[in-house]
Amino acid sequence: MKKDNKKVIYWLLTGCLLIFIMVVVGGITRLTHSGLSISNYKLISGVIPPMNDIEWQEAFDLYKQYPEYQKLNNHFNLQDFKDIYFWEWLHRLIGRFIGLVFFFPFLYFLATKQLTKPTIKKAIILLGLGAFQGFMGWYMVKSGLVDNPDVSHYRLAAHLITAFVTFAYTFWVALDLMFPNKKEINIAFRNFIRFALVVLLLQIIYGAFVAGLDAGFIHNHWPMMSEGKFMHETVFIEQHPWYKNFLEGKSGVQFAHRMLAYLVVIVIVAIWQKSKKLHLTSMQSKGINALLIMVAVQFLLGVFTILLQVPVWLGVAHQVGAFVLLSGMIFTLHRFSK
């Protein structure tokens, strides 16, 4: 049987699709403030949600023991709890399913000798990334179960960026099998795309900071940022040392996210302009043109997300836009790699 065949490629692309779905559901979970609704972790029995009134009441009573209910949601009734419970349960269910989709087909392909040694090594890395992603999810949730009824925005960013990196690596491995013959035409240009990828990943991290700090609910103007209030708290707060304004301050984090958005646009436009001086293959040209379109759409989604004060559907669309933009960046970089 041929190694690294189409079935292996479909397996990897299925993993990419599932990670995409999980990121979307994770975005909804965050934007609906559902992430702390399940305060314990049961790998096997947690697959099945409460099935009767007694089980639902037990789950609700457990939720009442933690800061989110005590400090924010003490007005919740059982139906309110069920609404937020659903998204966190679905998010965790998809995570478990992804683990099964990666692990058992890998064993099958390994046993039937359908993987080359390089692909086996890459698949083991993927399994490690998936396990680490699951750990980061619970590590993030734990931060909201102590005193502060919200998760650490640092842990949220780590959880999100791990998901994006896992997707990017899975997609890269699939591309390796789909396009085994690659043509490098310009090392400097390839390195410039690598730089663009780093900037984009930094922007995604800051997007997670904005989400984690609820920083999108202030300064809902564009292109200027105007002073406003959020939850009766003045948003312009000087933090010491000064750089914490751009790591932990709502205004500073949103400002950094805006500035990085401009930088991402400038860098991608520069890639497009530089590419005009090169002799490109059809795939390379399509990748760069797609990047230009994607970054324009994503920038507009970001602007409207701010202007409309982060409605759930638009916040999710903005996160999906980041995912699609990263996909385009990975594809384009792959087309210019050795």
Q: How many domains does the chain have?
A: 2
At residue 111, φ and ψ (nearest 5 deg) are -65, -35
Instruction: Tell which of 137, 155, 180 closes a domain.
Output: 180
Angle at 168 between CA 156 and CA 152, to 5 degrees: 5
**pLDDT digits 0-9 by tens, 273-300:** 999 999 888 999 999 999 999 999 999 9
* Beta-ladder partners of 230: 233
Same domain? 244 vs 207? yes
Instruction: Let me know: does 53 contact 75? Beta carbons within 8 Å.
Output: no
**Residue 230: predicted pLDDT:** 44
Same domain? 74 vs 107? yes
Query: In the chain, which stretches have pLDDT less than 50?
Result: 228-235
**Residue 72: predicted pLDDT:** 87
* Stated pTM of the model: 0.91
Same domain? 196 vs 316? yes
Residue 44: Cβ within 10 Å count? 7
CA distance 322 to 8: 26
**Residue 147: predicted pLDDT:** 81
**Residue 35: predicted pLDDT:** 86
Domain ranges, residue 21:
1-180
Beta strands in the chain (DSSP E): 229-230, 233-234
Instruction: Tell which of 151, 180, 209 closes a domain.
Output: 180
Same domain? 215 vs 108? no
**Residue 127: predicted pLDDT:** 94
